[in-house]
A and B are shown apart, each in its own frame.
Chain A
Amino acid sequence: MTNEPKILGFLCHWCCYAAADAAGVGRLQYPPHIRTIRVMCTGRIEPAFLLAGFANGADGIFTGG
Chain B
Amino acid sequence: MDEEKCTGCGVCAQYCPVTLPDPHNQNLTTYKAIDILYTQAIPSTFVVQPDYCLFLNKKECKQCTRACQTGAINFDQKPEISEYEVGAVILTTGFKDVNPAKIVSYGYQESANIVTGREFERISSASGPYGGKISRPSDLKKPQKIAFVQCAGSRTRGTGKEYCSSVCCKYAVKDAIVALEHEPDLDITIFFMDMRMHGKGLEDFYERAKKSGIKFVRSRVAEIKRVVDDEDLRIQYITELGALHEETFNLVVLPMGLEPSAGNFSLARAAGIDLTNYGFCRADLFAPLNTSRAGIFAAGGFLGPMALPDSVTQASGAAACAAELLTPTRGTIIVEKQFPEERSVGEEELRVGVFVCNCGKNIAGVVDVTDVTRYAADLGNVVVNVDNLYSCSQDTQDLIKETVIREKLNRVVVAACTPRTHEPLFQETVREAGLNRCLLEMVNIRDQCSWVHANEKEEATLKAKDLVRMAVAKARSIEALSEPIIDVIPKALVIGGGLAGMTAALSLAEQGFACVLLEKSDELGGNLRNLHYTLSGADPRSYLHELIDKVKSHRLITVHTQAAVERVNGFVGNFQTEITRGPEGGKEQEELEHGIIILATGATPFRPDEYLLGQNDRVLLLHEMEKKLATGEFIPGDRDNVVLIQCVGSRDDTHSYCSSICCSMAIKNALTIKELNPRTQVYILYRDMRTYGFHEDYYTRAREQGIIFIRYELENKPLVTAAESNVRVTVRDPVLGEDITLDAVMLGLSTAIIPDRQDNLEAALPVPRSAEGFYLESHVQLKPVDSYVDGIYICGMAHFPKSIDESIAQAKAAAAKASILLARGYVKAEPIVASCAEEQCIGCSLCAAFCPYSAITISKKGKGKKAEIIAAACKGCGVCASYCPSKAISVGRFTDEQIYAQIEAFGLKK
Contact = CB atoms under 8 A, between A and B. Distances in A.
Interface of A: 6, 8, 13, 17-18, 20-30, 32-33, 35-41, 43-46, 49, 52-53, 55-58
A39 B446 contact: no
B454 interface: yes
Interface string B463-494: 10011001000000000000000000000000
A49 B420 contact: no
Given A24-B447, A44-B882, A32 B459 contact: yes
Contact of A44 (B894, B907, B909): B894
A27 B452 contact: yes
A24 B899 contact: no
B881 interface: yes
B459 A8 contact: no
Nearest to B362: A24
The 4 closest A-B pairs by CB, nearest first: A56-B907, A44-B878, A24-B447, A43-B879
B882 A45 contact: yes
Nearest to B450: A24
B838 interface: no
Determine which residue in A21, A52, A53 has the highest number of CB atoms from chain B within 10 A of its CB, and name it: A21
B451 interface: yes
Mostly helix, strand, loop or mixed at chain B's interface? Answer: helix
Contacts of B778: none
B72 interface: no
Given A20-B447, A25-B451, A43 B877 contact: yes
A43 B878 contact: yes
A27 B451 contact: yes
Given A21-B444, A39-B878, A53-B906, 20 more contacts: A8-B906, A18-B420, A21-B420, A23-B447, A27-B451, A27-B452, A27-B454, A29-B455, A32-B460, A36-B467, A39-B899, A41-B878, A44-B881, A46-B881, A46-B896, A49-B903, A53-B903, A56-B906, A57-B909, A58-B906
Nearest to B882: A46
A23 to B, nearest CB: 6
A35 B909 contact: yes
Contacts of B449: 24, 32
A29 B879 contact: no
A57 B904 CA distance: 9
B453 interface: yes
A49 B903 CA distance: 8
B448 A40 contact: no
B370 interface: no
Contact of A24 (B451, B466, B909): B451
A21 B903 contact: no
Interface in B849-905: 850, 875-879, 881-882, 891, 894, 896, 899-900, 902-904
Contact of A8 (B446, B878, B903): B903
Contacts of A22: 39-40, 127
B610 interface: no
A53 B909 CA distance: 12
A24 B448 contact: yes
Contacts of A56: 903-904, 906-907
Interface string B405-440: 000000000000011100000000000000000000
B900 A52 contact: yes
Given A30-B452, A44-B891, A25 B40 contact: yes
Contact of B420 (A17, A32, A53, A55): A17
A41 to B, nearest CB: 4
Contacts of A33: 459
B467 A32 contact: no
B498 to A, nearest CB: 36
A4 B459 CA distance: 10
Contacts of B447: 20-21, 23-25
A61 to B, nearest CB: 10
B832 interface: yes
A38 B453 CA distance: 19
B903 A24 contact: no
Determine which residue in A6, A18, A20, A32 has the highest number of CB atoms from chain B within 10 A of its CB, and name it: A32
Contacts of B652: none
Contact of A41 (B40, B466, B879, B899): B879
A38 B182 CA distance: 29
Nearest to A52: B903
B518 to A, nearest CB: 36
Contact of B894 (A27, A30, A40): A40
A24 B467 CA distance: 16
A33 B39 CA distance: 25
A39 B894 contact: yes
Contacts of A49: 899-900, 903
B772 interface: no
A20 B418 CA distance: 10
B588 interface: no
B520 to A, nearest CB: 38
Contacts of B903: 8, 37, 49, 52-53, 56
A49 B894 CA distance: 12
B456 interface: yes
B317 to A, nearest CB: 27
A23 B902 CA distance: 23
Interface in B9-34: none
Nearest to B464: A32
A35 B894 CA distance: 17
A17 B418 CA distance: 9
Given A41-B878, A52-B903, A36 B453 contact: no
A26 B418 contact: no
7 contacts: A17-B420, A23-B452, A35-B467, A35-B470, A35-B906, A36-B467, A49-B903
Contact of B453 (A32, A35, A37, A58): A32
Contacts of B466: 35
Contacts of B455: 29
B459 A21 contact: no
